Amino acid sequence: MQVRLSPGVKLRPEKFGGTCYVPHRDDIFAADHEVFTLLCDIGSTWTEIATSLESAYRSLAALGLCETDPRTDEVSYSGPSLLGRFQEFPSIEEPLVVNCFSTAHCPLKCRYCHADDLMKEDFRKNEVDGPSADLANVAATAGMFSSLVAVVTGGDPLTRPGRAQFLIKELAAKRKAIVLDTSGVGDIEALLPLLRENRVHVRVSLDALSGANDEVRPINPRYVTKGTSSEWAKRTIVRCLENVIPVTVQTVVTTKNDQKDELFQLRDWLIGVGVKHWVLHVAVEAGKAREFEKRARNQSRQRHLLSDEKTVQGLLRRLHAEEVQKKRLDIRITDTNSRPNSVILIDSYGNLQTEGFAHIGKVQLFDAKSARPDLIRDNWAHIDRFGHAVRYLNWNRWLYPDDSIEDQCYAVPIPVRASEESKVIEKEAKYRVIDIAGLRAALVKGGWIASAEVLQTDEYFDTNNRYIEAHDLAIRVRSEDGQIKFAFKGPRTYEETSSSRVEIELSISSQDYRSELNDRGLSLTWVLEKRRTTYRHPNYKLVAVADEVPEIGWFVELEGSGEEAKAVLAIVGEYIGGSERSHYADLYRAFKEAEGLPLSQINGARFSHS
């Protein structure tokens, strides 16, 4: 089978694996390391893949992330956008989405508008319908983040199509995936060729088919004198679909449409006209909605715009459950009323904004005209990054009240792979030897090949206050047959009989390493000599070493995986004692202290060289 990435798919590495954006679905996914590696292993040209990976790639093709030959049909998916295995919901370092205002003008007067404070006269007065320095700043600010998606919004881009065209071109030049966010009110025709050329996904707002939509989204006669907002929205949706431009419909849920008939009727219409993607936003108490709710609380007969939490969650759970079962629509649900500062806005001057969490109104995070792009992240702490990820990766705790996150991830059937051994991790188990002759004979009989015995001299360095040792670190210089190796070792973690730690080992040529370390505040604190024989087996990666340590005897160290260590122990078990977690230095010190030597006089373990 052959595989390639779907056109326009964006991939971005993350600490947990990576994030992926599918433009024709307007879906963002978080992928664990294994799944993200699968996607990074293919490109935009057809690649032949191993038979064992066919099921994995078909599962990804079903979500539009890649294409297969033979073809795999896509399916609707409304679950959390987590691919692979996640024990907890991931957070992100950089924004997934930035919302870019192309204009402060809007043809509607929405009762719940959350961004009305970015559309006041101060923002509108100097706008021109075309290229401008302010619009260039919008694109520049967006370009300072490695976001997967830039949403061209406002206001409404259709009220100033010249500005929308300019901003789309600027963002496309910065290799952003682009979404056009619109009420649908205005002439979409002038933008259609550019939308197709740049694979722009169009997101159209429509809250209901009934008069409820026009009640909360009335036309602003300053811009439009004919038609209702719902008529314009439906017309724009159909025109985009006719031009093979992917469409998402977004619906804000308020008391005006939080009834089963309203939302289910709208759903059926969307399916009927061919819409495949639907986003439902629970209305947020911000902007005009905050003013509305404030007035309602002071009324004797309170008429709220924001829905009762129990009502809206119950309705959306039912709607969501039906589409999860029937797979006719992709549904994403956002409920950020408790996380208003999870949305990133770039106003029409290019300034970075977010809705306040404790502050009422917008919080400006960056001034585009400051001539200080180095300050773009100075106020990044005010963004709720976890909430940002939750919003765009389709997770709401109340949709899955009885399920843990790992039960809701999208399963990708990747074959079990042998775990890769890290080259910077030292894993070893140490045992005291009670019969060295028997151990050597058993290893040779088992097919282990011995190297010539060598004398190793290990020098350990530390600060005057023994910081290195106190934190279970080690700085060691080893001399062996004229070769010198420098090693840094990190703190250990323990299993039943073995330990693991980071070990970085480098060959060095300088004979003056002591003075170089002294210059860095490190002095020689311990010297250990040992006679070492190394054993290797043609069928194992594990290395076995037999060490003779002055005065305290013989030890065997098994350096490698636990499974291979078990195989070695099976043949040498009768010749060794219990496992030892202590360093050779600690074992030697304990031995000499037991003989009555003061600890201050014990600074190394050396053979007698007579």
Q: Express each pLDDT in 12-57 by its tens digit.
A: 999 999 999 999 999 999 999 999 999 999 999 999 999 999 999 9
What does the pLDDT read at residue 229?
96
Residue 91 lies in a domain: no
Q: How far is the C-alpha of 252 from the C-alpha of 68, rounded, in Å? A: 36
Residue 30 exposed, middle or buried by CB count within 10 Å (0-12, 13-18, 19+): buried
Residue 10 lies in a domain: yes
Residue 338 lies in a domain: yes
Residue 407 lies in a domain: no
Judge if 304 and 358 occupy the same domain: yes
What does the pLDDT read at residue 420?
55
Residue 416 lies in a domain: no
Please report which confidence band the pLDDT of residue 421 belongs to, taking 50, 70 and 90 as the band edges.
low
417 has a pLDDT exceeding 70: no
520 has a pLDDT exceeding 80: yes
User: Which tokens belong to 139?
Assistant: 């694109």
Judge if 213 and 326 occupy the same domain: yes
Nearest-10 crossing angle of helices 260-273, 229-242: 30
Judge if 543 and 453 occupy the same domain: yes
Mean pLDDT of the chain: 93
Q: How far is the C-alpha of 286 from the C-alpha of 359, rounded, in Å? A: 11
Q: How far is the C-alpha of 221 from the C-alpha of 346, rounded, in Å? A: 27
Q: Calculate the CA 468 to chain-centre distance.
A: 34
Judge if 373 and 229 occupy the same domain: yes
Q: How far is the C-alpha of 507 from the C-alpha of 521, rounded, in Å? A: 21
Average pLDDT over residues 361-383: 87
331 has a pLDDT exceeding 80: yes
Kindly state the DSSP code that residue 244 receives in the 8-state scheme: T
Q: In the chain, how many domains are there?
A: 3
Average pLDDT over residues 302-327: 89
Judge if 350 and 455 occupy the same domain: no
Residue 498 lies in a domain: yes
Percent of the chain residues topping a pLDDT of 70: 99
Among residues 376, 392, 408, which one ends one of the domains?
Answer: 392
CATH code for the domain in which residue 433 is found: 2.40.320.10
CATH code for the domain in which residue 262 is found: 3.20.20.70
Q: Calculate the CA 33 to chain-centre distance.
A: 10
Spatial neighbors of 160 by CB under 8 A, at least 6 apart, are 102, 103, 105, 127, 129, 154
**Length of the chain, in residues:** 610
Judge if 79 and 103 occupy the same domain: no
Judge if 121 and 269 occupy the same domain: yes
Residue 286 lies in a domain: yes
Would you say 113 and 142 are in contact if contact means Cβ atoms under 8 Å apart?
no
Residue 591 lies in a domain: yes
Helix, strand, or coil (residue 191): helix
Judge if 159 and 33 occupy the same domain: no
Judge if 370 and 441 occupy the same domain: no
What burial letters (b/e) apply to 198-233, b meaning 16+ CB within 10 Å?
bebbbbbbbbbbbebbbebbebbeebbeeebbbebb
What does the pLDDT read at residue 418?
47
Please report which confidence band the pLDDT of residue 86 belongs to, taking 50, 70 and 90 as the band edges.
very high
- Cis upstream peptide for 70 (omega within 30°): yes
What does the pLDDT read at residue 558?
96
Kindly state the DSSP code that residue 527 receives in the 8-state scheme: E
Judge if 78 and 33 occupy the same domain: yes
Judge if 154 and 190 occupy the same domain: yes
What does the pLDDT read at residue 401?
87
514 has a pLDDT exceeding 90: yes
Among residues 374, 392, 410, which one ends one of the domains?
Answer: 392
Biggest CA-to-CA distance, the chain: 107
260 has a pLDDT exceeding 90: no
Among residues 50, 83, 116, which one ends one of the domains?
Answer: 83
Percent of the chain residues topping a pLDDT of 90: 80
What burial letters (b/e) apply to 116-130, b meaning 16+ CB within 10 Å?
bbbbeeebeeebeee
272 has a pLDDT exceeding 50: yes
Q: How many C-beta atoms lie closer than 10 Å to residue 567's C-beta? A: 15
Judged by phi (left if over 0) then psi (alpha if -120 to 50, else beta), residue 466 lies in left
Q: How far is the C-alpha of 581 from the C-alpha of 590, rounded, in Å? A: 14
Q: What does the pLDDT look like over 422-480, one tens digit per residue?
A: 788 899 999 999 999 999 999 999 999 999 999 999 999 999 999 999 999 999 999 99
610 has a pLDDT exceeding 70: no
Judge if 206 and 116 occupy the same domain: yes
When mean pLDDT is compared across 179-193, 286-300, 339-353, the lowest value belongs to 286-300
Q: How far is the C-alpha of 219 from the C-alpha of 227, rounded, in Å? A: 8
What does the pLDDT read at residue 511?
81
Q: How far is the C-alpha of 409 from the C-alpha of 89, rounded, in Å? A: 10
What does the pLDDT read at residue 299?
79
Q: Strand pairing of 345-346 and 97-101?
A: parallel
Find the domain containing 34 and state its range.
2-83
